[in-house]
């Protein structure tokens, strides 16, 4: 058995190197060892990585009810950790709830200033300009 840099296990014992292609198949259903993944749904880019009140927070593009994009407006999922090994999945941080958001909350960032956490999404309509 061999591993790639994302700690996904390859199912082929014949794989001599994790960087070889064609000989190893990735088991996408196996739990990742070092990277966060929510319990269900589609996950895309992380958009807000910030340290706030003793935790590292990650906000990410997410469709919580579907495994593929396009079936619901993209929202921002939210998780936090203290050690990057054990993650706590938190409630959805942002939903596309205005006309400006269009197809969802896609790019953006999160920042901490003076003890307050700010999330700054860029709606889907802004990306089309």
- Catalytic residues, by residue number, are 45
81: which strand partners?
Answer: 56, 87
* Rounded Cα distance, 62 and 78, in Å: 9
Q: What is the CA radius of gyration of the chain?
A: 17
* Rounded Cα distance, 75 and 113, in Å: 23
């Amino acid at each position: 058995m061999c591993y790639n840099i994302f700690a996904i296990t390859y199912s082929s014992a014949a794989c001599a190197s994790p960087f070889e292609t064609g000989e190893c198949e990735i088991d996408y259903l196996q739990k990742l060892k070092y990277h966060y993944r929510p319990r269900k749904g589609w996950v895309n880019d992380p958009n807000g990585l910030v340290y706030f009140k003793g935790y590292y927070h990650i906000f990410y593009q997410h469709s919580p009810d579907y495994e593929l994009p396009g079936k619901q407006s993209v929202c921002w999922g939210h998780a936090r950790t203290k050690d990057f090994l054990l993650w706590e999945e938190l409630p959805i941080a942002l939903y596309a709830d205005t006309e400006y958001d269009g197809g969802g909350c896609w790019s953006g960032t999160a920042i901490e200033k003076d003890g307050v956490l700010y999330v700054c999404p860029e709606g889907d309509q802004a990306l089309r300009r």
